[in-house]
Amino acid sequence: MSVTTLTVGRLFIGGEWTDAADGGRMDVIAPSTGEKIADVARAGVADVDAAVAAARRAFDEGPWPRLSSRERARVLQRAYALMRERAEELAQLESLDVGKPITFARVVDVNNAAELYEYYAALGHRLDGEVREITAAAHAYVRPEPLGVVAAITPFNFPLILSSTKIAPALAAGNTVVHKPASDTPLSALLMAEILRDAGVPEGVFNVVTGPGSTLGDHLVAHPDVDKVAFTGSTEIGAHAAGLAGRSLTPFTAELGGNAANILFADADLDRAIHTVISAFVFNAGQFCMAGPRLLVERPLYGVVLGILKDVVPRVPFGDIADPATVIGPLASRTQLDKVSALVERARAAGARVVTGGHAVERDGGFFYAPTVIADVAPDAEVVVDEVFGPVLTVQPFDTEDEAVALANGTPYGLASGIQTADLARAHRVAARLRAGITWINGWAVLDPSVPFGGVKASGWGREGGPEALQSYQKAHSIVFDLGGAA
């Protein structure tokens, strides 16, 4: 797909496409080939200030926060319709920019992102306040009101979905938005600016600034005119951003790193469980905060499962992202490829056994890494404890339910978890003990706009999806009318 026909390469501020104030540009590289596919504006702090100012004016003086929730919902519904009309364009762009297999970009990324706008358009029809009964001679009611200017900062792995989880509820609630996408994958954010404009989002309500997070992100998070920060990214950067936001007590929600355990009990349907295990760690080449890179296997099945994985994993379709059959594409950047390669090599040097994979794959100059299974790892091994963010699976045995739970909860992260078992009582019992924001039973990555997800511990706080996310973009304004007359 050619990106030259798209409205890309410039900042979107105050309803207008504009160059960076200093004229800066940066290249966008295709992970599947390592070649340049576009260049976009490299914004600076002056551009962030301009975007925040536009969002501030739109919130303080413009119509968007003052429209009825139904009127805003109609705009979001039009955005949903336009996303469906341009679905193939969005999918091709996301596939090229991120290195996603085209089938996944169509079925997962575009479909889920569009449904988020549809879902929050529906919720937006019901942003009603509540009357509260109180003991005093007074009439009290609570109004849900927008917070103001929202800074939405998103990562490279799911640019379209993880921006939509923030932008759709923020707009539905009546806020204005400044979006800072990852510098490696900015293209779908610029196309969404075009779609939202065409859907009828007023000038200044949605703004996009592209450029390095180390300067733009820090300035945006700490900006005195930002009323809420919604962040997805690594735990390290999230902690840094939270510190900046905390200086001005700016509300902050964060979906951070993950390192989910997938617990396979001996009574599970093994064929189904193996399919789930593989899907959980190779999906999006493992670049998924809610991936399942840690497999815990009840000991009677340990050797059997390793044998099956050794045979099956190398046969998962790998490589050409334009082939509808491809399941595993490249990593998003040379930096990510080098990081995953180094982590696996350190595990090998420490005595871990690489069952299959364990090496980069040369293909068309892209950033490919073979799907990898590692056994004989200690619970405190680096490759077990740290987030790999690549197609790498560690496998550990356990003997008891208590041991499985302890191993699952034994990292700093708590974003997702999984249980594979035929025993429903055990499934509910174990799920209640896992410290995670979401737990899948006999499946993985079953997501819907109505179901919230988010982390505990080092995986962050706050929720995306569901009415819980919408509430995080609102404040409760209590109004009490004294009916008793003057004292």
Tokens of residue 197, six digits: 């404009």
Residue 284 · residue 100 · CB < 8 Å: yes
Taking the C-alpha atoms of residue 171 and residue 159, their distance in angstroms, rounded to an integer, is 18
Question: Among 241, 190, 188, 234, which residue's Cα sits nearest to residue 214?
Answer: 241
Taking the C-alpha atoms of residue 194 and residue 204, their distance in angstroms, rounded to an integer, is 13
Measuring CA to CA, how many Å separate 147 from each of 141, 173, 202, 243, 471?
A: 18, 8, 18, 20, 10
Q: Hey, is 82 helix, strand or coil?
A: helix
Residue 251 · residue 147 · CB < 8 Å: yes
Annotated active-site residue in 255, 298, 387, 464: 255
Question: Among 161, 158, 155, which residue's Cα sits nearest to residue 182?
Answer: 155
Q: Where are the beta strands (DSSP E) in 291-442?
A: 294-298, 353-356, 360-361, 368-369, 372-375, 392-398, 416-420, 438-441
255 is a catalytic site residue: yes
DSSP state of 316: S
Question: Among 207, 170, 1, 181, which residue's Cα sits nearest to residue 86?
Answer: 1
Query: Between β-strands 25-29 and 368-369, what pairing exists: parallel, antiparallel or unpaired?
Result: unpaired
- Catalogue the active-site residues: 255
